[in-house]
Structures are given as C-alpha cells and as structure tokens.
Amino acid sequence: MPWYDPDWDYRVKITTDPTAIPSNQTDFPVHVDLAQLGSGHAFWGNVKSDGGDLRATKSDGTTEVAMELVFIDTTAKTGVVYFTSDGTLDSVTADDFYLYYGNAAVSLPAATATYGSQNVWDSNFNCVHHMSGAAYTDLDDSTSNGNDVSAEGGNPMYDQSGPGGHRAVDFDGTGDYLTIPHANSLSPASVQNFTVEAWAYTDTLQSLAIVTKSRRTTGYEFWLRNNSIGNFQFYAWQSVGSTYERQYKVSGGTGVWEYFVGTITNAHLTTKDVNLFIDADDTGLTHTEDTNAMSTVSGANVEIGRRNRAGTGDEWNFDGKISEIRISGVVRSDDWVTTTNNSISDSAFLTYGAEESNVSSPPAAAPCQAVLVML
C-alpha cells in the first residue's frame, strides 16, 4: 500500500459502517472520536501532544483530504477529529480512510489551506460550533464565514463532556447564554432554505431555548426549544404578533443527549414548510400552519441557551448542556440527518485498525567470525 509521505512514521486505518448510512452522502464531514481507539492503542504514544502531525487520506493512502482537529488530550487519551469524505460516502460498501501521524517537525495546515479545517465543511454550512474551549472567546466558527460567538451572559461552564467525545457548554437555567452576532447567512428569511442543528442534554424540564434568533422589540425568526412537559418545538415566525408555523413532538426528557434538528423550506413563500427531528426521527409530529412568508428580523442575534426577550423574565434560559451547533443555508435531507446522528451517537459507525508503521528496522548485525592469522 502506498504511503502518504515518508516523513510520517505511522498511520491508522479508519473504516465506515455502510449500514449506518441510509444513502450515499457527498462531501460528508466524518466524525472521529479518538477515545474509541482505546487507551492502549499505540497511537497515543506516537502522535504529537498537540496533534499537529495529524493528516487524513482516502483509501489509497496518499490522496489527502481536508481535516479539522477539534481538540486532543494525549494524557487523557481523548480528542475529536473531522475530515471530509471528499466525494461519496458509500451506503453499500465500507469506505476506508487513513489517519497519519508521527512527524514531530510539522504543524496543522492553516484553516484556509486546501486541506485545512474550513474545507471540511461544505459551502452550505453557514456556521459550525463544536462548543470546545475554556471561554466563550474560544468558541469560533469552524467555517470560513466567521460567525463566532461574541459574548456570554451569566456564567456558563465550559469544556464539559459532550456527545461522541465532544466538549459542551453547561447552562444553569437562569442567566447563562451565548451570542452569535446577526448575519444574513444565519437568517432563514435571507437564505430561504435553512437547517439548524444542536445536541442538547436537559437537566430540568422547563421552557428551554436551545438555539434562537429573535428580538423582543422587532420580532422572531426561529426558535429551537423544549418545554416544561418535554415537548420539543421548532418555530418559524413571520413577524412580531403574527402567527407562526411550528412542529413539535415529545423529546426524551432529562438526563440524555439528544440531537435536535429544525428545517425550513421556502421561507419567502406563503407555502413554506417546517420540519424537525429528534435523534433523526421526524415521525409523530404535531403541526401548526402559517400562511405568511417569513421576514428578516433586523439585527436579531443568534442566542444559544435563551431567547432574547429584553429582560422580561421570559428568556427561557436552558438548564443543561449544549454541543455541536450547526446552521446551513440548505434543507438537509432525512438521510443526511440520520448519517450525522449515527456518526456521533453510534460508536460502531467507524472501526479502527492497529497502528501501521513506515519505520524501517535497523539491519541485523553480521555475526562475528573468527579469523586465523598465519605468522
């Protein structure tokens, strides 16, 4: 098998489970929970402590693909990596990829480079937040759009445990929240077709805002929320005081990680449609119809962990942990949602091989031979 580069000493084969992929997916961001390698894997003794030597390739062992290292902790033997399938992720035949490491002289490519982190996320992603970091200033958008978290309220707790080896932010249910500034790319009325995703772990059932874009004085665009009786709801509003279109269903309640997804189709039409998923399931929905087209709420920020109600005491602050926020300017398909859910929640989505080495063993020393010298 060809080798990526002789300066890299080691690699691990990563193989997908096609039964967890309902249909072929194009340029899918493959999630790697490094803890699934196992604490005894040789990887942990040979990768750089900052992961700067990590590179990903296709099955031929040489064709590099874009990769993002979310974090790595070689002491705790944990970490998360994403790489793009760079083409078809097959739903019938297992796909192989390789993760290379073992080059102390290199660092990760720049985020904007061909194989850098931003190119893991296709052009339909308008923001991706892994919620990994020690402060809100570390919660940067992984895409090229720069929709970074800009502020916090209260005292969120950072770098908490999340789904699939991810980190998460813990919100106390009273005054904690995070803000992403308004951008048209985050507005369903601007992009027309829209998907918002989040993983959430609920501590206490109450009226809980997971991800919202609203402003008390000028209106609402979308709410992704839970309520006090465990109904998950996704709202798409037309304007202040208007009716809304929503879907809702019963969530799993407290004490479990759940994958929440809301989509809006044709936001500018009176025949717009909303849909939602919990753990990739969109059955059992109750629907409320609105025949108004959506309008952009000027200046409304995206809020994580609350809705902006201008201090009315009705902010619906979230009580629990939130991880993996993603907003796309496209309606993600049912199969894309299912594949995403499986890639993070199913530890069998990937299998990992043993460490392979490109390090040649030194030649064995020639045996000593006696020499008879005639004098």
DSSP sequence for 198-224: EEEEESS-SSEEEEEEEETTTEEEEEE
As a three-state string, the secondary structure of 32-91 is EEHHHHCCCCCHHHHCCCCCCCCEEECCCCCCEECEEEEEEECCCCEEEEEEECCCEECC
Average pLDDT value over all residues in the chain: 87
State the distance between the two ends of the chain, measured CA to CA, in whole angstroms: 56
Q: Is the pLDDT of residue 375 over 60?
A: no
Range in 76-80, 103-107, 256-260, 290-294 the model is least confident about: 290-294
Cβ(168)–Cβ(359) under 8 Å? no
Distance in angstroms (rounded) separating the CA atoms of residues 110 and 108: 6
CA angle 238, 190, 131 (to 5 degrees): 95
pLDDT at residue 254 in the model: 80
Six token digits for residue 72: 């790595």
Q: Which residues is 356 bridged to in the sheet?
A: 11
Distance in angstroms (rounded) separating the CA atoms of residues 36 and 86: 23
Q: Is the pLDDT of residue 311 over 60?
A: no
Helix, strand and coil content of the chain, in percent to the nearest 5, comes to: 10, 40, 50
pLDDT at residue 366 in the model: 47
Looking at per-residue pLDDT, the higher value among 315 and 335 belongs to 335
pLDDT at residue 31 in the model: 98
% of the chain at pLDDT higher than 90: 65
Looking at per-residue pLDDT, the higher value among 15 and 241 belongs to 15
Q: Tens digits of per-residue pLDDT, 177-222?
A: 999 999 999 988 888 899 999 999 999 877 788 999 976 666 678 8
Distance in angstroms (rounded) separating the CA atoms of residues 37 and 248: 38
* pTM summary value: 0.90
Sequence spans of domains, the chain = 1-122+334-360, 125-329
pLDDT at residue 246 in the model: 61
**Which of left, alpha, beta for 111 (phi over 0: left; psi -120 to 50: alpha)?**
alpha
Residue with tokens 């108004």: 292
Cβ(319)–Cβ(170) under 8 Å? no
Distance in angstroms (rounded) separating the CA atoms of residues 81 and 152: 26
The helix (run of H) or strand (run of E) holding residue 189 is helix 188-191
Displacement of CA 38 from its chain's centroid (Å): 22
pLDDT at residue 218 in the model: 62
Q: Is the pLDDT of residue 152 over 80?
A: yes
Q: Is the pLDDT of residue 242 over 60?
A: no
Distance in angstroms (rounded) separating the CA atoms of residues 133 and 128: 14
pLDDT at residue 314 in the model: 61
Name the nearest CA neighbour of 145 among 117, 197, 185, 191.
185
Displacement of CA 208 from its chain's centroid (Å): 21
The helix (run of H) or strand (run of E) holding residue 190 is helix 188-191
pLDDT at residue 361 in the model: 43
**Candidate CATH numbers 2.60.120.200, 3.40.50.300, 3.10.180.10, 2.40.10.10; the one for domain 125-329:** 2.60.120.200
pLDDT at residue 190 in the model: 86
Averaged pLDDT, 119-130: 98
Residue 213: CA count within 13 A, CB half-sphere: 31
Q: Given CA atoms 217, 219, 225, 229 in this order, what sign does their dihedral have? A: positive
Averaged pLDDT, 230-239: 70
Q: Is the pLDDT of residue 294 over 90?
A: no
